Amino acid sequence: MVVPFPPGGPADMLGRLIAEKMTQTLGQQVLIENRGGAAGNIGAEAVARMPNDGHALLLNASSHVINGILYDKLPYDPIKDFTPVSLVAQYNHILVAHPSLPVRSLKEFVELARAKPGSISVGNSGAGTPGHLAGELFMITAGIKMLMVSYKGSAPATTDLLGGQIQAMFNNPVNSLPYLQAGTMRAIAVTGKKRLAVVPNIPTVDESGYPGFEAGTWFGLYGPAGMSPAIAARLQDSVARAVKQPDVAKKLADQAWDVVANTPAEFAQVMGEDQKLWSHVIKSAGLKAN
């Protein structure tokens, strides 16, 4: 199982969790191979060129679909060169702000952004990342202008938010929760359809005046193109059984992840919907990868 990111990140954590359980259900060892670099493109290209007999898998984030829109010339097609197996799990972002920003609700956040267009600086972990696009989508939805500041990773963006160099961020829950509890960040809203069980006091963007708004990060399992439906179904069943194990489910829930483990057909539908949504956002924002 190729994880196209360095060890220690969300995809790596999820991959190691399910690989151990899949080893038990499949009766053969599932190993993790980290092939980081180029926003996940290096590992994805490697799997696209591997045999489609079920022994080569890719666990990638929703950036897999996004990269196909951002990059003009990828050496592979994120849709055509892969067989979707299952969308394993997902999490939604939290719009967090530095305590010095004079807002305590999404309504106040939007009012400030409208009163002073471009004055609120919003960090992200990199241009074209899901957190960045969540911010771009919200600007389109709310009809506001924010100053988007891209970093190389969520850690430096979070550090600058804590230091007050930027004022807000659409951050992942794991990075946000300790600082929310310490009071060094303020939660404004959650980008999912429902509130987070670990912090149920934070309202959603949807319930705060923007019905239907949703922007999260998902992680899906793929094989190379042409994998037989029977192999894909067997792998999907193994994934579903893995994430439903009590210890795995608890670890994911504690970090505000939602287990999905849908079918190959359902996953393909999500990919198609995301491709349409993010194509519109990326085009509207005029984004292109370097």
User: Mean pLDDT across the stretch 26-54?
Assistant: 96
Report the mean per-residue pLDDT for the chain: 96
Residue 229: its pLDDT value, please?
98
The CATH number that applies at residue 237 is 3.40.190.150
Whether residue 101 is found in the same domain as residue 84: no
pLDDT digits (tens, 9 = 90+) for 188-233: 999 999 999 999 999 999 999 999 999 999 999 999 999 999 999 9
Per the structure, the count of domains in the chain is: 2
Q: DSSP assignment of the chain, as one string?
A: -EESS-TTSHHHHHHHHHHHHHHHHHSS----EE---GGGHHHHHHHHTS-SSSS--EEEETHHHHHHHH-S--SS-TTTTEEEEEEEEEEE-EEEE-TTSS-SSHHHHHHHHHHSTT-SEEEESSTTSHHHHHHHHHHHHHT---EEEE-SSHHHHHHHHHHTSS-EEEE-HHHHHHHHHHTSSEEEEE-SSS--TTSTTSPBTGGGT-TT---EEEEEEEEETT--HHHHHHHHHHHHHHHTSHHHHHHHHHTTEEE----HHHHHHHHHHHHHHHHHHHHHHT----
Residue 74: its pLDDT value, please?
93
Residue 290 lies in a domain: no
Per-residue exposure over 227-258, b if at least 16 CB sit within 10 Å of its own CB, e if not: beeebbeebbbbbbbbbebeebbeebeebbbb
Residue 118: pLDDT band (50, 70, 90) is very high
pLDDT digits (tens, 9 = 90+) for 145-187: 999 999 988 889 999 999 999 999 999 998 899 999 999 999 9
Q: Tell whether the model's pLDDT for residue 14 goes beyond 80.
A: yes
Whether residue 82 is found in the same domain as residue 109: no
Nearest CA among 167, 122, 173, 131 for reference residue 281:
131
Domain boundary among 208, 242, 264: 208
Q: Tell whether the model's pLDDT for residue 290 goes beyond 70.
A: no
Q: Tell whether the model's pLDDT for residue 53 goes beyond 80.
A: yes
Q: Tell whether the model's pLDDT for residue 72 goes beyond 90.
A: no
User: Mean pLDDT across the stretch 6-12?
Assistant: 90
Domain boundary among 208, 236, 269: 208
Whether residue 188 is found in the same domain as residue 277: no
Residue 98: its pLDDT value, please?
98
pLDDT digits (tens, 9 = 90+) for 221-266: 999 999 999 999 999 999 999 999 999 999 999 999 999 999 999 9
Whether residue 25 is found in the same domain as residue 122: no
Residue 15 lies in a domain: yes
Whether residue 130 is found in the same domain as residue 222: no
Whether residue 77 is found in the same domain as residue 121: no
Residue 289: its pLDDT value, please?
81
Q: Tell whether the model's pLDDT for residue 59 goes beyond 80.
A: yes
Residue 273 lies in a domain: yes
Whether residue 82 is found in the same domain as residue 110: no
CA 89, 63, 97, 178 torsion-angle sign: positive
Nearest CA among 30, 42, 186 for reference residue 104:
186
Whether residue 106 is found in the same domain as residue 191: yes
Residue 9: its pLDDT value, please?
87
User: Mean pLDDT across the stretch 33-56?
Assistant: 96
What is the extent of the structural domain holding 33? 2-90+216-285
User: Mean pLDDT across the stretch 16-31?
Assistant: 96
Yes or no: say if 226 and 83 are a contact pair by the CB < 8 Å rule: yes
Residue 108 lies in a domain: yes
pLDDT digits (tens, 9 = 90+) for 135-144: 999 999 999 9
